Amino acid sequence: MAGLNKVVGSYDEALTGLTNDMTVMVGGFGLCGIPEGLINQMVKLGVSGLTAISNNAGVDDFGLGLLLRHKQISTMIASYVGENATFERQMLSGELNVILTPQGTLAEKIRAGGAGIPAFFTATGYGTPVADGKETREINGRHYVLEEALTADFALIRAWKADTMGNLVFRKTAANFNPMMATAGKITVVEVEEIVEPGELDPDHIHTPGIYVDRVIKGVFEKRIEQRTVKQA
């Protein structure tokens, strides 16, 4: 059973094999459920020319915003620009190639990639610039757009708990894009808050089976809040 231990002891080991010009999926929604330490390690490695697939890029000075600041991302596939001024500026100036994708379509493109489905038809985006250059088809009187699936060289995700065999449990909304991305990477690296021994996780509560996971690292998280909102006194 020792050969099934997916735990690595350092961020260097976690991202072994990551090089320039790769495609990287990064889990999270805003700053919720992002693999903070793995993103910081990419900044330290200085890899460039990356194609990043993520719902958005968070904020300027945290998460994927750090990679944008250092101009390590050449193409961003995302559903919206969000709160990141650097993302907006680089997109409008042409420094960054941005493929804006409807959020539900983005999620399904990733899920399809993980399931081995090369493409699918969706009504979302028909008759808009989203459909430009794509095959369309009328099915049962409704028009659809053919969307190709997404996969990546690395999927970097965040989970709450993992066992040493890579079985994962996500916590509340921090799940977001993480479970589907875990299935769509050639190499899936998971940053977690807690690692337990096999058998300690309730099998009925495991969200992602360890078969999809290649490496697990116990992270240290800042858990920054993107938009702090408090009740007025």
In a domain, 161, yes or no: yes
Residues 71-85 pLDDT 10s:
999 999 999 887 789
Please give the structure tokens belonging to residue 126: 């028909």
Which positions ≥6 away from 44 have C-beta within 8 Å? 11
In a domain, 184, yes or no: yes
Give the Cα separation of 147 and 6 in Å (integer): 33
Give the Cα separation of 188 and 194 in Å (integer): 17
* pTM across the whole model: 0.93
The pLDDT of residue 1 is: 43
Q: Tell me the average pLDDT of the chain.
A: 94
In a domain, 2, yes or no: no
In a domain, 124, yes or no: no
If pLDDT is split at 50, 70 and 90, which confidence band does 70 have? very high
Number of domain units in the chain: 1
Residues 6-20 pLDDT 10s:
999 999 999 999 999
Domain interval for residue 205? 11-117+151-218
Residues 192-216 pLDDT 10s:
999 999 999 999 999 999 999 999 9
Question: Which CATH number characterizes residue 190's domain?
Answer: 3.40.1080.10
The pLDDT of residue 3 is: 62
Residue 2 has pLDDT above 60, yes or no: no
Rounded average pLDDT over 46-52: 98
In a domain, 110, yes or no: yes
Percentage with pLDDT > 70 across the chain: 99
Residue 125 has pLDDT above 80, yes or no: yes
In a domain, 130, yes or no: no
In a domain, 76, yes or no: yes
In a domain, 134, yes or no: no
Question: Do 188 and 167 form a contact (C-beta atoms < 8 A)?
Answer: no
Rounded average pLDDT over 87-103: 94
Question: Do 11 and 38 form a contact (C-beta atoms < 8 A)?
Answer: yes
If pLDDT is split at 50, 70 and 90, which confidence band does 60 have? confident
Question: Do 138 and 164 form a contact (C-beta atoms < 8 A)?
Answer: no
More confidently predicted of 22 and 225: 22
Phi, psi for 130 (deg, rounded to 5): -60, -30
Residues 131-180 pLDDT 10s:
999 999 999 999 999 999 999 999 999 999 999 999 999 999 999 999 99
